[in-house]
Amino acid sequence: MIKQNSLITAISLMAVIFIATSFSGCVTSRHIDELKAEHREMKTVVAESGNKIDKMEQLISESTDASKKLRNEMSGSTDQLQEQMDALLENYNELLRIVQLINTQVHSKRVILGSVGQTTVTNQPVETNNATAPVEVVQKPSVDCGNLYDDSFVLFRSGEKYDEAIASFNTFIESCPDHASVENAHYWIGECNYALGKYVDAADKFDYLLKNFKETVNASRALYKLARCKQELGKNKEAKKLFQKLIDEYPETLEGSQAKDLIKDL
């Protein structure tokens, strides 16, 4: 706009000079010189204005690039922070599992017989036609459930052996059905399937956990991941319902907070 106005002014001045030249009897040479001087001054003003406009455009462009860069950096930082928070939550729940396991072992009245690689031989009487005779009964070596669970969890945490982790956790569940970490094993199997993109299998496992372990410490996480599975499967209505349940029942948890953001997009 400034350049257009200056151009019009310059053209007007040239017109005046032309008229003055045509009617030199009415206009003196001093007047013409003054007009020329004003014209030169106007050209200088126009040039300075153009430079200022160029600088402003450059500043605007640099500001836009800086804003984009800042947004990208903030987005990356947010993703990293979320990953750290998820890892911290997993570690917290695993620590809670260990504490529960210790409490169970302290108060348990069960006696675990034998250990890995050992056998127990007992003599029991067996009735015959005329008398009883001792017979050796060999018990199978017991499974070290704690180590089996820990080995399964290490496979999961490796981030590359999800199929092996699923098989190991299933072995743990079958071999140690009464162990305190069985509910955790079900949860980690669900996480393995989720990581593999097997959302149907993952949803089934999270749903099983919620229905069969009412007091599980994994309730909020399982409910959150179940909702995410439904979302990945395109079942947005079911996902929205689950997210709302998570917000209502576990509002103070990290998963409850995440659900508040995710439900807006459904």
pLDDT in tens, 77-100: 666 666 666 666 666 666 666 665
Q: Is the pLDDT of residue 199 over 70?
A: yes
Structural Rg of the chain based on CA atoms: 40
Mean pLDDT computed over every residue of the chain: 76
CB distance 152 to 168 below 8 Å: yes
The model's confidence at residue 190, banded by pLDDT at 50, 70 and 90, is very high
What distance separates the 2 farthest-apart alpha carbons in the chain? 160
pLDDT in the model for residue 112: 42
Q: pLDDT exceeding 70 applies to what percent of the chain?
A: 59
Beta strands, E only, the chain = 121-127, 132-138
Would you state the torsion angle of the CA atoms of residues 57, 62, 63, 65, taken in this order, to the nearest 10 degrees? Answer: 130
Burial of 166 (0-12, 13-18, 19+ CB in 10 A): buried
The model's confidence at residue 32, banded by pLDDT at 50, 70 and 90, is low
Taking the C-alpha atoms of residue 149 and residue 183, their distance in angstroms, rounded to an integer, is 11
**SS3 track for 147-178:** HHHHHHHHHHHCCCCHHHHHHHHHHHHHHCCC
Q: Is the pLDDT of residue 47 over 60?
A: yes
pLDDT in the model for residue 222: 95
pLDDT in the model for residue 194: 96
Condensed to tens digits (0 to 9), the pLDDT of residues 94-152 reads 666 666 566 555 444 443 433 334 444 444 544 545 545 454 444 444 778 999 999 99
pLDDT in the model for residue 17: 54
